[in-house]
Amino acid sequence: MNKVAFITGATRGIGKQIAITFAREGYDIAINYRKENEELENAKREIEENNVKCLTVQGDVSNFEDCERCVYEIIKEYGKIDVLVNNAGITKDTLLMRMKKEDFESVIDINLVGTFNVTKNVISHMMKARSGRIINISSVVGVSGNAGQTNYSASKAGIIGFTKSLAKEVGSRGILVNAVAPGFIETQMTDVLKDEIKEEIAKSIPVKRMGVAQDVANVVKFLASDDSSYITGQVINVDGGMLM
Ligand code: NAP
C-alpha cells in the first residue's frame, strides 16, 4: 500500500512541486483547491504522470468546516494520511501605516489559522496510527521580519511557534513536526516583484540566485523520509544562506 501525502495549496508553485516530488517517490497524493481551473487540472495530470493516485478535494484552508470535509474525503478514499504539508499561503504586502485590518486578518486566517484548521483535522488520524509527519511551510521573514510584511511575518512566525509546540505534544506518539523556511523562491508569489528588485535580492544572497520550488521540495521530501526520524520541532531554512 502506498504512503499518502496531503499537500495544501498545491495547484501551483512550491506546493505543486512538493506534490510532484512525493508522487515520484511513489506516494498517493491529495491536494485541495479553492476553484476548479486549468492550474488544478495541470497539477493533477503532472502528479498522475508518475503512476500514483491524485485526489483533489475542494476547500479553503481558512474555513474550518471545509478542512473537516477535505480530511474526511481523503480518509474515505485512502484510509490514512502519512504526511501533511501545510503549504497554502498568501501575501498582502504593504507598510503597517497603510495596511487595512482586512489585509492583516486575511493573511493570518489563511497562513496561520489555515495551518491550525488542517492540522487539527488530520492529527487524530495520525495519533491513532501512532505515526505521521507534519511539515509546515514558514518563511525566513517569520524569523527575521521584513518591512512591508507585518501581516505575513507574523503569520509565518506563528507557524514556527505552532510547529514547536505541536512537536512537543505529539513526539511520544511517533509524529514528527517540522517547519521549512524558504527564502526567495521563483513562483507566482514572487513574480510580482520588479526585475531590478529580483536582481538586487539575488546579489544579496550568498549563493547569488533565487531559489526554485524544487529546492524546497527536496527538503520537505527529506523531512518526510526515514532519514529524518530523529528530527522534530526544527525550522530548516532553504534560502541560499540569506539568513544566518
Ligand atoms: P503561490 O504560487 O502563490 O501558490 C500558493 C498556493 O496556495 C496556490 O495553490 C493557492 O491556490 C493556494 N492557496 C492560497 N490561499 C488558499 C486558501 N485560502 N485555501 C487553499 N489554498 C490556498 O505561492 P508559493 O510561492 O508557491 O508559496 C507556497 C508557500 O510557500 C506559501 O505558504 C508561501 O508563504 C511560502 N513561501 C514562499 C516563498 C517564495 O519566495 N515564493 C518564500 C517563503 C515562503 P489558489 O489557486 O486557490 O489561490
Its pTM stands at 0.98
In whole angstroms, how large is the CA radius of gyration of the chain? 17
pLDDT tens digits for range 23-37: 999 999 999 999 999
Number of Cβ within 10 Å of residue 150's Cβ equals 18
Q: Is residue 1 a contact partner of residue 23, using CB atoms and an 8 Å limit? A: no
Our answer to whether residue 230 is catalytic in this structure is no
Strands (E), the chain: 4-7, 28-33, 54-58, 83-86, 132-137, 175-182, 235-238
The mean pLDDT value for 2-12 works out to 98
Q: Is the CB of 190 under 6 A from ligand 1?
A: yes
3-class DSSP string for 103-163 = HHHHHHHHHHHHHHHHHHHHHHHHHHHCCEEEEEECCCHHHHCCCCCHHHHHHHHHHHHHH
Atom 11 in ligand 1: residue holding the nearest Cα:
9
Cα separation, 57 vs 7, in Å, equals 11
Cα-to-centroid distance, 18 and ligand 1 (Å): 12
Q: How confident is the model at residue 97 (pLDDT cuts 50, 70, 90)?
A: very high
Q: Is the CB of 182 under 6 A from ligand 1?
A: yes
Atom 27 in ligand 1: residue holding the nearest Cα:
14
pLDDT of residue 141: 98
190 three-class SS: helix
Q: Is the CB of 151 under 6 A from ligand 1?
A: no
Contacts of 33 (CB under 8 A, 6+ apart): 11, 40, 56, 57, 58, 59
61: cell is 484552508
86: cell is 501545510
Share of the chain above pLDDT 90, in %: 99
pLDDT of residue 181: 98
68 three-class SS: helix
